[in-house]
Amino acid sequence: MHVVSVSSQKGGVGKTTIALNLGLALARTGQKTLLTEFDAQGSLGLSLGLADRARPGIAEVLTGAEQLENVLQRTRDPNLSVLSVGRVDPTTVAGFEDALTRGQTVSTLLDQAKAQGFDLVLIDCPAGLGKVTTRALENASHVLSPLQAEPLALRSVGQILALVDRVRATKNPKLELLGFVLSMFDRKVAASLDVAETLWTKFPVGVVMDAIIPRDEMFLEASLRGAPVLLMQKKPPPLARRFDQLASDVLDRLAPSQKAPTEDDTPIPLLV
């Protein structure tokens, strides 16, 4: 089972949006996917219209009050399940974070996910590289880091790479950087283009995911409606294709052999 932590040093860069839409895109390729939030704000649940704070979720699994299988929320896609934050009231955020970072709670949670037959777990981290994100990385196989297409974003790259190195050296030598994913890209804005150019030209090949997530009003509409962009219209909007591309790129990087060959992979006949 692969565990991908969606993490970034900066807040509001598109972690939750990417986790949600990528989760559905991965599920549609046949991967049994669990989307779980480690952010006490509960944005993932809110983005799905699961604003019911009385419903148990990860908070109860961490304390052992509930088993994972009893609190998983099934979705319209049989391969996608969601584990929302549970009964976390804003005054007990510190308690939630303590539960996530105490002892072996996260690894026990992931063992339960494995026992449920999930192929992939996507963790929606809170903003910043604090103790919750660190704990996610200590238990993840991979980290995917959204970078907002704006100049300050590049400054945060070194910080997340340093954390990945530290976690590798201390608790989790198997942790791998899946890649950075450029989000909120606007080709009409020069600064946005500059960031993309720097990423493509100055970073080693493979560090940046091929798919780019554009800035699009539909994300705001989607979060108001509590839906991934794919489900916003009867016919999937072109925006949804970006997440199919991202999912395909993610699967290639996780295990090249897992992806069924496509027509594009067929060798071109020799000319002579």
Which of 2, 5, 9, 15 is close enough to bind ligand ATP by CB under 6 A? 15
CB proximity list for 33: less than 8 A, separation 6 or greater: 23, 26, 27, 79, 80, 81, 118, 119, 120, 121, 122
Distance of closest approach, residue 39 Cβ to ligand ATP, in angstroms:
6
Instruction: Starting at the earlier edge strand, list the strands of the sheet with 33-37.
Output: 73-74, 80-83, 33-37, 120-124, 2-6, 142-148, 176-183
Asked whether position 133 contacts ligand ATP by CB under 6 A, the answer is: no
Asked whether position 249 contacts ligand ATP by CB under 6 A, the answer is: no
Residue 183 interacting entry, from ligand ATP, Mg ion, none, C-beta within 5 to 8 Å by type: ligand ATP
Asked whether position 115 contacts ligand ATP by CB under 6 A, the answer is: no
- Residue carrying structure tokens 């981290």: 125
Q: Which is nearer to ligand ATP, 104 or 233 (CB)?
A: 233
Asked whether position 97 contacts ligand ATP by CB under 6 A, the answer is: no
Number of shown-chain residues binding ligand ATP (CB under 6 A): 19
Q: Which stretch binds ligand ATP (CB under 6 A): 7-15, 49-57, 133-141, 253-261?
A: 7-15
The residues that bridge with 74 in the sheet, in sequence order, are 81
Residue ranges of the alpha helices (H) in the chain? 15-28, 43-47, 58-62, 68-71, 93-101, 105-115, 131-139, 153-170, 190-202, 217-225, 238-254
Restricted to residues 2-61, the positions that interact with Mg ion (CB under 5 A) are 15-16, 43
Residue 11 interacting entry, from Mg ion, ligand ATP, none, C-beta within 5 to 8 Å by type: ligand ATP
Cα distance between residue 35 and residue 82, in whole Å: 5
Q: Which is nearer to ligand ATP, 119 or 195 (CB)?
A: 195
Asked whether position 57 contacts ligand ATP by CB under 6 A, the answer is: no
DSSP 33: E
**Residues interacting with ligand ATP, by CB under 6 A?**
11-17, 39, 43, 126-127, 183-184, 213, 215-216, 219-220, 223
